[in-house]
Structure 1
Amino acid sequence: MLTATLVATLAATAGCGDAGDLASAGPTPTATSPARLWPDLTPASTPAWNYDDGESELMRGITAPGNDVRKVDPVDVVRAEIRQDPGSYTGAKAPYRETARRMAECGEGAGHGECPVLKAYYRDLTGDGHEDLALGFRLLPGDQTAVRVYTFEEGRLVQVMSNDDAVSSVELAGRSVIIHAPSDIASYEYRFQWTWDPQQRVMLLTHDEMIRIGHGDHPATPPAPAPASPSASAR
């Protein structure tokens, strides 16, 4: 037999209607497994494009006390790359001769005046407990940016990531460098994620995608992409 208190409680609850109850979200699409196409197709044995990943490069002549990357001058690092890659910077047909010429404007250091070297950033991207160097510099003439990552290995400065592209923005997240690049499709951009691989001991291109950046009825308009360079990452 119900007590008067319990009857009153049930009545009060019934008067609240359906508040707090679960509501249906509508029909759920039927899950389908991937359908494999052309099962007899012979797998490719070589990559379609060169993404400039999977390689490291020793920056000759660059050292620092205690392997402290903050004691390395970013301008000296870019000058070392220019010396080691004359075909891109100083040769007769070098596409970025203007970058090499503008290095003379770096007397006040990276990020000042007409110096093509941008402000340096420091983050432990390799997971060894020591800061690494994230560096960018303008590729001139044109509207592209070189993005590099360097770490010390056995007292030597090593470039472990290299990407040249028309860059909208760059982010550091965990062990990754995320590069946003403009697309020629309105309201979309490319996003490339480079992540440290401890086995290969380089940063690999782990994600390459096109994402929507427009919002509502007023989509963002990305800047026009710069002409592709021979060393730009293929898309």
Structure 2
Amino acid sequence: MPRPARPHRPGSVPPLPRPARRRHRARLLGAGALLAAAVTGCGTVGEPLSAGRTAPAAAPSPLWPDRSPAPTPTGEQHGDASSTPVPGIPAVPAGDIRRVDPYSVIKAEVAAHRHDVTGADGLDEETAAKLVSCSQEHRDCPLRTPVYSDLTGDGRVDLIMGIEMGEHFLGLRCYTVSDGRLIRIMATVVRPSSVEVSGRDLIVWEPSTTPHYAVRSVYSWDAHRRYMDLQSDEIRRTDAGTSSEAPEHSR
């Protein structure tokens, strides 16, 4: 027996018949689905979501283009450095640098540049005198333990040596073998807090005069010049004196 219709109260919305209520509910559900799609930015599952508007790419805009640029520096530059055969060292057997005595290498260089106090071969007199009698057994030898690593990328290890000098300075030198000859491919003086090898890069960390910052210098093999060239020199934020944070700016 059909249920009697409810009486309509004045001022209220009259109820819809059942078929009309179903059609009205379907329209509401459809509108809700469209609203959800508009909010999420995605019509179906699996489609990409919009990340919003992207700032337009722009080329660098030069400032004061009418001003004359600075002239190219003259005189001796760091870029003039190049590989140098080590004097007094015989041919390297089988091109294996491990068969070269590191102490003989340093002694040969000191003998060839005994009185150089500046430049790539510069050493203070006290350090040079100690190197003359340096050996693996000599405890007062300023030469740090030699390190072998492939810096040039030819699949063979190269030689890295550090010479300790006064006031925490370090003479940093690297060598490779080319055509059976021992070649020096880097020579510089640094004042490091640490020295690292990362792949084929030689990384030197030096303390900065600014607290919680350090200078990070990266040397890499330049096949054209055949030398370990300074690739980057930047100041990085450090965590309590360690070298673990991201760079803040370059110098």
TM-score, normalised by the number of residues in structure 2: 0.66
Q: Tell me how many residue pairs correspond in the alignment.
A: 195
Structure-2 residue corresponding to 1:230: none
Structure-1 residue corresponding to 2:142: 116
Matched, 1:173 2:198: yes
Matched, 1:188 2:213: yes
Using the TM superposition, give the Cα deviation of residue 96 of structure 1 relative to its aligned residue in structure 2, in angstroms.
0.7
Structure 1: distance between partners of 2:201 and 2:80: 14
Bigger relative contact order, structure 1 or 2 (CA pairs below 8 A, ≥6 apart)? 1
Using the TM superposition, give the Cα deviation of residue 179 of structure 1 relative to its aligned residue in structure 2, in angstroms.
0.8
Matched, 1:220 2:246: no
Once the two structures are superposed, the pairs formed by residues 1-235 of structure 1 within 5 Å of their partners are 33-39=59-65, 40-46=67-73, 50-51=77-78, 54-63=81-90, 64-88=92-116, 96-103=124-131, 106-109=134-137, 113-139=139-165, 141-214=166-239, 219-220=240-241
Q: Supply the AA of the counterpart residue of 2:112.
A: Q
Structure 2: distance between partners of 1:105 and 1:29: 65
Q: 5+ unaligned residues in a row in structure 2: which ranges? A: 1-39, 41-47, 244-250
Structure 2: distance between partners of 1:202 and 1:221: 29
Structure 1: distance between partners of 2:202 and 2:84: 18
Q: Deviations over 1:122-173 (max 9, x none)?
A: 111111221110111112x322001111001112111111120101111112
Q: Supply the AA of the counterpart residue of 1:175.
A: R
Alignment root-mean-square deviation, CA: 3.2
Q: Given that residues 53 and 162 in structure 1 are in contact (C-alpha distance below 8 angstroms), is that contact kept between their aligned partners in structure 2?
A: no
Structure 1: distance between partners of 2:227 and 2:186: 7
Q: Supply the AA of the counterpart residue of 1:62.
A: I
DSSP 3-state at the match of 1:115: coil
Q: Given that residues 206 and 214 in structure 2 are in contact (C-alpha distance below 8 angstroms), is that contact kept between their aligned partners in structure 1?
A: yes
Structure-2 residue corresponding to 1:3: none
DSSP 3-state at the match of 1:157: strand
Q: 1:200 to 1:23 in 2, by over 3 A?
A: same
DSSP 3-state at the match of 1:86: coil
Q: Given that residues 107 and 132 in structure 2 are in contact (C-alpha distance below 8 angstroms), is that contact kept between their aligned partners in structure 1?
A: no
Structure 1: distance between partners of 2:62 and 2:173: 38
Structure 2: distance between partners of 1:53 and 1:210: 25
Q: Given that residues 53 and 205 in structure 1 are in contact (C-alpha distance below 8 angstroms), is that contact kept between their aligned partners in structure 2?
A: no
Q: Given that residues 105 and 113 in structure 1 are in contact (C-alpha distance below 8 angstroms), is that contact kept between their aligned partners in structure 2?
A: no
Using the TM superposition, give the Cα deviation of residue 67 of structure 1 relative to its aligned residue in structure 2, in angstroms.
2.1
Structure-2 residue corresponding to 1:7: none
Larger Rg: 2
Q: 1:153 to 1:95 in 2, by over 3 A?
A: closer
% identical aligned pairs: 35
Q: Given that residues 186 and 221 in structure 1 are in contact (C-alpha distance below 8 angstroms), is that contact kept between their aligned partners in structure 2?
A: no
DSSP 3-state at the match of 2:116: helix
Q: 1:37 to 1:178 in 2, by over 3 A?
A: same
Q: 5+ unaligned residues in a row in structure 1: which ranges? A: 1-17, 223-234
Q: Deviations over 1:11-64 (max 9, x none)?
A: xxxxxxx9xxx9999997776643323323224312798437632211011233
